[in-house]
Each structure stands twice: as structure tokens, then as C-alpha cells.
């Protein structure tokens, strides 16, 4: 099994912790002047996915340990949405880029083309951050442009193979770092630096938030912007040169001064990303290489502007000499106190970059790159500086942005914090280097009053919240016999995962050395031992055995659920009940009448023609394997029930089409087929043959027998069965442990 890189592991863990969300979506939005050739574009997308393994990788786990699984032929396609006169294209794009990913089963790339009536189009490549970063966007667009141009000419892109794939990097990274316990390893050396650099640093940056930090963050966010003038930009560059500093160092010094003015205190930690591509072989590779650095600044003794910048420069140079250590390893080693709503070591992020040219091409089609509004926030505050330059290369101003967590801040407060940053940058541009921070005039009297008012209100709210929470008193002997046997089991599981002899009911998992990977192992073992759906977030919110037991009970997970086992046909009731989800669909069907509303069509352009007889046999194999695909749904006295047919052949219609319009009409007709669920199995297929020899496969499943997850299972089984039938044999798969009817009976139990 191929391990994840350390950066990927962090995102995999967050996806498990918080559930599927759009917080780590990284969309690429291209506004094209003309609609591209759909067939060529779909082929080009597949070419790029084929070239970069990371775009066709899912991230599964065994006993809480994640691994990469590269999918050989993922069948990634291009979804097309034709926008009518009443459609708001921007709203449709926004809705698409906010669709969540489940990285344990979803491929990390989706492509959708929105065509507009004026002839233009918007192409959105929605990539999960686990497979990409800012650098990767250029690699992705370059490869897509080249592949599309080639496909428009009727050929495959003739690029050189990549020297390495992302999985190679993940293995190399672990080899390069070595084991932290090995005194001769790079990991050991760099950990020693970071332990010293962050010793005694504040757990949280205290700022004038409008609300206390919630126990469970929503990750909703918003953006405010400002601009630094060209004159100030030019002066800022001169200040940086005078101190042999970079623009980033100067911006960080200014940000730390602004945060101190807002109440953060003299010890300020700010995070920043670094590219993480030390080898040239990685430069053309799509993937998530970025590492995070926690950069500390000392603002004690009221330093002047120049002294603070010199301190920041010294710290940053030392940190960047130790930037190879993955942030995950640092957190695991230093083991700061954990909270769902508090990012370890820093909650404020700073990024700087040069504003990029937004023009782009897709073959002969011109367009521009556009930003997408995800309305999310990864951190409490994320400050961004984009330097712009004129045609002569002179500084032309800095675009400032602040993405803020709406759980904590209102827009007014976010604008105040961005204004403080703007003033601090201006101070570095215009005031003498010897000006003490206390005399820079960052805060007006009204600003100070507003900040003090927020701090006081926040303190009162936090005190009220703390008064309602009880903690174990020091000196209590908490290692007593558990009143509930399930608590005893939890204590044993805690001890087993943490490698300890005993764990008390009020001992914190994280204070005993637990971390994210071990939390995954713990929840996996709780599921097996107690049969309850414990999640990683439960461990964060209730990190002791006693609290975790109470939380699981409050969520309705207290009683042990019955195990899911196959029910022999002789013991099944004559009339199998429907599951709760099926019952809803059956009721809607009775109310509205038969329709195609709940069809799930899967449309795939085949790379090579299929042999109809072998394909028909493969379809029958899949239907034999999955009872739900050969089940009819009838009723008696108004009560619905399932009837699994012993033998059923799915319909396969072979249809010849002539030209794109006929093909589109045939696809629409297939997708619009109306199932008679009482008499017809909920699965059938069409093989659409084109005049040039191409084939398009349409698989149609009624929602009563499938969902989005099921599509992947269906395609995988069909592929295996077809390969076997082409080889003249039956597919040699293992029997499924349970069928859908078993699940239905288990659910009712």
C-alpha cells in the first residue's frame, strides 16, 4: 500500500474529521470567448487525468491508516450544462465549485462546461486540494491546452512521460526525512530546531472577535479587500532592500505590528505556505506539495520598525532553512492542546505573490482565469498580498485581501483588521525605520475603543461558557471501576491505541500522547468493539472515555446496534420490506405517477468498441451479483414490498446514430426512460453506435436501486465482468458479504 504524503495526510484527516465539505476545494475557472469542441475537450481532460496519477487517486484506510489507491481507468468525463436565457451562469458556477468531496471514494477532479447562448462558455476544473496546490494550476492548464490542441487535430498529445508521479514523491519524502527518533535523520534535526523556535509560544492569537470560538467550526467565510498605492508599494520595496529582506518578510513584520495593535500581545505566530518542491523533477507535476511554516515574531520592548523587520528576517531565514519538516510531524511531536475550532500553533495565515496574468488559451480558444467564491475559511484570518507591476516593471500597487471566518468575525471587524494591516504596510513605506511601534499611529481613538469593546464582550462571553463546563479536579483518583461496562471497554481501547497500561475515565486522549492518526485507529476499533458509529470529531469534542461515552449516548449511538449479516433466503420474509429511503421514493412515485425524475444515467464514451455478446453477458453477471438490480417493487393492500427475481436479464438496446444531434437525442431518450418498478427491474443499458465506429454506453439505474456511491461499484464490477467474458470465462469475484435486502432487514431491526 502506498502511503499518503504528510500534506495529504493532513487533508485526509480533516476530510474524515469534518466530513465532506468544500473548504478544501481548489477550483480553476476559465471564461472562454467561444465554446470548445466538446469531444476534443473531454478527450483532453482524460489525457491529463491519465498523465497525472494523483488526479485519479482515492484515499482509503485500513484500521485508520490511510493509503493511496490509483484508479487505472477512472472513466472521468466532461459534464456539459447548456445554459438557457433564464439561467444565472455565475450562480451555477458558484454552486458547482461548492460541491463537497469525500476523498475516501471520490476522484479529486470534476470537469464541467457551461455553454452560454451568446457562444461563450465557462470551463470549471474542480480539484480537491489533496491533489493540487497553487503551483499545480499552471501545470494543469499547460497540459490541458496542449492535449486539447492535439485532440482538435485528431491525435493524442505527444508529450514526454513525467519523470515521477506523486506516489513516487510520497515514498521519497518519507525516505528523505527518515524517522524522527533516528538522531542522524533530517526529521530529527529539523524537529530540534522547531521545538526551540516554538517553545512557549501562545496557543491562540487573541484578537477582537465578535463571537466566542465555537466548539465545532462551520468553516464558512467571507472576503474583504483593499489596495496599497503604487507609491507605497515602491517605497515598501526600498525598505525591504535596505534591510536585505524580501517583500514577504516586510509584509509579515507589518502584519505582526497590526495584530499586536489589535490586542494579540508581543508574541505573535503567523502561518505561511511554502512550495515544497525541492527537486526539479517535481516542477511539472500536479499534486499537493505545499507545507505550512509557523513563523514567530518578538514584539517585546516596543521595537522600532527597522528592528522588528530585522527580527522577522532572522527568524524567517532560519525557518526556511528547516522548511522540509512536514507540519503534521511538528504537531505530532510537540502535541499542543487540541480543539476542533483551533488550528494548532497559528490561526492567522499570510501569503504573498505576484499577481499573475489572467489570460489563458485552450487550443485556439482564448479566455481568462477567474476567481471562484467558495465562501469558506480554512483559518480564522487569511491575509493575502498580490504585488502588481506596470509594463516597465515598476511596482504598481499591492492588492490586499482578508478571508475571515464568519463564525468569529463580522464584516466590520474584518475591515478594521485589514485597515490596520494597510496602515502598518504604509508605515513601513513612509515612516523612518527608527520609529517605535507605539508611535506609528496604527490605531485611532475610535479604533482603540472599538477593539477594547470587542475584547471585553468576548471575555464576558467566554467566562459564561467556561462557567457551564466542568473539569475533573486535581487530586481525584479517577482510575476507579467503571459503572458502565462500555466505559471499561473504551478505557481499554484508549490504552491499547496509546500503548499504555491504564487510562482513567477522565484522562484526555491527546494529553496522553494521542494524535490525528491514532484518533482514526481509535474510532475504527470503537466501531468494531461496540458497533457504534464513532467519528474522529467525537474524539476531539469528547477526548476522555467518560465524556466520549456520554457523547455517543446523546447522539443516539449508545445502544449497541445489531451486526449486519446475510439472511438466508429460507429465513427471509416472503414480502421483503423497503428501506426507509426506498419507501420515500416509492411514495413519491405513487403520488406523482411514473416519471424519469429519479433516474441515474451514467453516460460513457468508450475508448474502443465493445463486443455485444460479451457485454450482454457481463451485464447479466452484474445483475446476478447485485440482487437490488433484479428486484421489483410491488404493493399489497397499499403496503410496498420488494421481490427479488431469481433470474432477470437486463435490457441492452443497440442503437445506430448518425451525427451529433442524433446521438444527443438518443442519449436524452435513454436517460428519460420511465421504469415501471412493479414489473421491470430498475436497471438497463443502451449501446449507441456512431457512424465513425465510436460507441457511447448509457447505463440507467433507478434511484430506488442505486445512488452516487453505487455508480463506482457498478462500473468496477461491469469492467471486471466484461474483461472476464472477453477471455471466455465468468468473473471470478468473491461473493458479496450482504445484499441490499439484508441491509433493509437490518435497518428495520
Q: Is 539 helix (H, G, I), strand (E, B) or coil?
A: helix
Predicted pLDDT at 287:
96
Q: Are 424 and 240 in contact (CB under 8 A)?
A: no
The grid coordinates of residue 537 equal: 470529531
Closest of 321, 314, 325, 156 to residue 243, by C-alpha: 314
Across the range 550-570, mean pLDDT stands at: 71
Give the other-Cβ count within 10 Å of 162's Cβ.
18
Question: In this predicted model, which residue has the larger pLDDT, 581 or 556?
Answer: 581
291-298 and 267-274: which strand pairing?
antiparallel
- Say which residue the cell 507545507 belongs to: 291
List, for residues 566-624, the tens digit of each pLDDT value. 888 888 898 999 987 788 788 888 888 888 888 999 988 887 888 889 999 999 999 99
Q: In this model, does residue 471 exceed pLDDT 60?
A: no
385 pLDDT band, cuts 50/70/90, is very high
Q: What is the CATH number of domain 6-162?
A: 3.30.559.10
Q: Give Cβ neighbours of residue 23 (< 8 Å, ≥ 6 apart).
A: 14, 219, 374, 376, 377, 378
Q: How far apart are CA 385 and CA 641, in angstroms?
A: 61
Q: In this model, does residue 558 exceed pLDDT 70?
A: no
Q: Give Cβ neighbours of residue 12 (< 8 Å, ≥ 6 apart).
A: 4, 59, 66, 103, 104, 130
Element (H, E) at 455: helix 445-467
Q: Are 688 and 601 in contact (CB under 8 A)?
A: no
Q: Is 385 helix (H, G, I), strand (E, B) or coil?
A: strand
Q: How far apart are CA 567 and CA 356, in angstroms?
A: 61
Provide, rounded to the nearest whole percent, the portion of the chain with pLDDT above 90. 59
Domain boundaries, the chain: 6-162, 485-554, 569-748
The grid coordinates of residue 6 equal: 504528510
- Backbone Cα Rg of the chain: 29
Q: In this model, does residue 470 exceed pLDDT 50?
A: no
Q: In this model, does residue 256 exceed pLDDT 70?
A: yes
Q: In this model, does residue 283 exceed pLDDT 80?
A: yes
Q: How far apart are CA 137 and CA 627, in angstroms?
A: 44
Predicted pLDDT at 461:
60
489, burial (CB in 10 Å: exposed 0-12, middle 13-18, buried 19+): middle
Sign, CA dihedral 723-725-729-733, equals: positive
Span of 128-137, 348-357, 710-719 with lowest mean pLDDT = 710-719
Range of 250-259, 390-399, 571-580 with top mean pLDDT: 250-259
Q: In this model, does residue 81 exceed pLDDT 50?
A: yes
Q: How far apart are CA 577 and CA 584, in angstroms?
A: 13
The grid coordinates of residue 610 equal: 465493445
Sign, CA dihedral 194-197-200-204, equals: negative
359-362 and 291-298: which strand pairing?
unpaired
Q: Are 388 and 228 in contact (CB under 8 A)?
A: no
List, for residues 670-718, the tens digit of each pLDDT value. 999 999 999 999 999 999 998 888 899 999 999 999 876 677 788 889 9
Q: How far apart are CA 115 and CA 364, in angstroms?
A: 17
Predicted pLDDT at 562:
61
pLDDT mean across residues, the chain = 89
Residue 27, CA distances (Å) to 109, 254, 288, 399 in order: 9, 30, 14, 21
308 pLDDT band, cuts 50/70/90, is very high
Q: Give Cβ neighbours of residue 591 (< 8 Å, ≥ 6 apart).
A: none
Predicted pLDDT at 65:
84
Q: How far apart are CA 56 and CA 48, in angstroms?
A: 10
Domains 6-162 and 569-748 share a fold: yes
Predicted pLDDT at 734:
84
Q: How far apart are CA 572 and CA 553, in angstroms?
A: 31
The grid coordinates of residue 702 equal: 433507478
Across the range 11-21, mean pLDDT stands at: 83
Q: In this model, does residue 67 exceed pLDDT 50?
A: yes
662, burial (CB in 10 Å: exposed 0-12, middle 13-18, buried 19+): middle
CATH of 485-554, picked from 3.40.30.10, 1.10.1200.10, 3.40.50.720, 3.30.110.60, is 1.10.1200.10
Q: What is the CATH number of domain 569-748?
A: 3.30.559.10
Closest of 715, 711, 667 to residue 688, by C-alpha: 667
Amino acid at each position: 500500500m502506498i502511503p499518503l504524503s504528510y500534506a495529504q495526510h493532513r487533508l485526509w484527516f480533516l476530510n474524515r474529521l469534518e466530513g465532506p465539505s468544500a473548504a478544501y476545494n481548489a477550483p480553476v475557472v476559465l471564461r472562454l470567448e467561444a465554446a470548445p469542441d466538446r469531444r476534443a475537450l473531454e478527450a483532453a481532460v482524460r489525457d491529463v487525468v491519465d498523465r497525472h496519477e494523483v488526479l485519479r487517486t482515492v484515499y482509503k484506510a485500513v484500521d485508520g491508516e490511510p493509503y493511496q489507491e490509483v484508479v487505472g481507468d477512472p472513466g472521468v468525463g466532461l459534464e456539459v450544462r447548456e445554459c438557457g436565457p433564464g439561467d444565472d451562469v455565475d450562480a451555477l458556477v458558484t454552486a458547482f465549485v461548492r460541491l463537497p468531496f469525500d476523498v475516501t471514494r471520490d476522484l479529486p477532479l470534476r470537469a464541467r462546461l457551461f455553454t452560454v447562448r451568446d457562444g461563450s462558455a465557462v470551463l470549471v476544473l474542480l480539484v480537491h486540494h489533496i491533489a493540487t496546490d497553487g503551483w499545480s494550476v499552471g501545470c494543469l492548464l499547460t497540459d490541458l491546452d496542449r492535449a486539447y490542441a492535439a485532440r482538435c487535430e485528431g491525435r493524442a498529445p505527444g508529450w514526454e512521460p513525467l519523470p515521477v508521479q506523486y506516489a513516487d514523491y510520497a515514498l521519497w519524502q518519507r525516505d528523505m526525512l527518515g524517522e524522527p527518533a533516528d538522531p542522524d535523520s533530517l526529521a530529527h534535526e529539523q524537529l530540534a530546531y522547531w521545538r526551540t523556535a516554538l517553545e512557549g509560544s501562545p496557543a491562540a492569537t487573541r484578537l477582537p472577535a465578535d463571537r466566542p470560538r465555537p466548539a465545532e467550526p462551520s468553516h464558512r467565510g467571507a472576503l474583504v479587500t483593499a489596495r496599497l498605492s503604487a507609491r507605497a508599494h515602491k517605497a515598501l520595496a526600498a525598505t525591504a532592500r535596505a534591510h536585505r529582506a524580501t517583500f514577504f518578510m516586510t509584509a509579515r513584520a507589518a502584519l505582526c505590528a497590526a495584530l499586536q495593535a489589535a490586542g494579540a500581545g508581543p508574541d505573535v505566530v503567523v502561518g505561511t505556505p511554502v512550495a515544497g518542491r525541492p527537486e526539479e523533477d517535481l516542477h511539472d507535476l500536479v499534486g499537493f506539495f505545499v507545507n505550512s511554516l509557523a513563523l514567530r515574531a518578538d514584539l517585546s520592548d516596543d521595537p522600532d520598525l527597522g528592528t522588528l523587520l530585522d527580527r522577522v528576517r532572522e527568524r524567517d531565514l532560519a525557518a526556511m532553512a528547516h522548511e522540509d519538516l512536514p507540519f503534521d510531524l511538528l504537531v505530532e511531536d510537540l502535541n499542543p492542546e487540541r480543539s476542533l475550532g483551533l488550528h494548532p500553533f497559528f490561526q492567522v495565515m499570510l501569503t504573498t505573490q505576484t499577481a499573475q496574468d489572467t489570460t489563458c488559451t485552450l487550443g485556439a480558444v482564448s479566455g481568462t482565469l477567474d476567481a471562484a467564491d467558495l465562501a469558506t475559511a480554512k483559518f480564522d484570518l487569511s491575509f493575502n498580498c498580490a504585488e502588481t507591476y506596470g509594463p516597465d516593471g515598476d511596482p504598481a500597487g499591492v492588492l490586499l485581501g482578508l478571508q475571515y471566518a464568519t463564525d468569529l468575525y463580522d464584516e466590520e471587524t474584518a475591515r478594521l483588521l485589514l485597515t490596520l494591516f494597510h496602515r502598518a504596510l504604509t508605515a513601513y513605506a513612509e515612516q523612518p525605520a527608527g520609529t517605535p511601534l507605539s508611535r506609528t499611529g496604527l490605531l485611532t481613538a475610535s479604533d482603540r475603543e472599538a477593539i477594547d469593546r470587542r475584547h471585553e464582550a468576548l471575555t464576558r462571553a467566554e467566562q459564561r461558557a467556561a462557567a457551564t463546563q466542568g473539569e475533573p479536579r486535581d487530586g481525584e483518583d479517577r482510575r476507579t471501576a467503571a459503572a458502565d461496562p462500555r466505559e471499561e471497554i473504551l478505557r481499554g481501547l484508549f490504552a491499547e491505541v496509546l500503548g499504555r497500561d491504564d487510562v482513567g475515565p477522565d484522562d484526555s486522549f491527546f494529553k496522553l500522547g494521542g494524535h490525528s492518526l491514532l484518533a482514526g485507529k481509535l474510532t475504527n476499533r470503537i466501531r468494531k468493539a461496540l458497533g457504534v458509529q464513532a467519528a474522529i470529531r467525537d474524539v476531539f469534542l469528547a477526548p476522555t472515555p467518560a465524556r466520549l461515552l456520554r457523547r455517543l449516548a446523546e447522539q443516539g449511538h449508545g445502544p449497541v446496534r445489531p451486526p449486519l449479516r446475510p439472511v438466508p433466503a429460507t429465513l427471509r420474509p416472503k414480502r421483503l420490506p423497503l428501506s426507509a429511503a426506498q419507501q420515500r421514493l416509492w411514495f413519491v412515485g405513487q403520488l406523482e405517477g411514473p416519471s424519469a425524475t429519479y433516474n441515474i444515467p451514467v453516460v460513457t464514451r468508450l475508448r474502443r468498441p465493445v463486443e455485444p455478446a460479451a457485454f450482454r453477458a457481463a451485464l447479466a453477471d452484474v445483475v446476478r451479483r447485485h440482487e437490488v438490480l433484479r428486484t421489483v417493487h410491488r404493493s399489497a393492500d397499499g403496503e410496498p414490498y420488494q421481490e427479488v427475481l431469481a433470474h432477470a436479464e437486463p435490457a441492452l438496446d443497440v442503437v445506430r446514430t448518425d451525427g451529433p444531434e442524433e446521438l444527443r437525442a438518443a442519449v436524452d431518450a435513454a436517460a428519460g426512460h420511465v421504469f415501471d418498478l412493479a414489473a421491470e427491474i430498475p436497471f438497463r443499458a443502451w449501446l449507441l453506435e456512431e457512424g465513425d465506429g465510436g460507441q457511447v454506453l448509457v447505463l440507467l439505474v433507478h434511484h430506488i436501486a442505486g445512488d452516487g456511491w453505487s455508480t463506482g461499484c457498478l462500473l468496477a464490477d461491469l469492467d471486471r465482468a466484461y474483461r472476464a467474458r472477453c477471455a471466455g470465462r465468468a468473473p471470478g469475484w468473491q461473493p458479496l458479504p450482504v445484499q441490499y435486502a439484508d441491509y433493509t432487514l437490518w435497518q428495520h431491526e
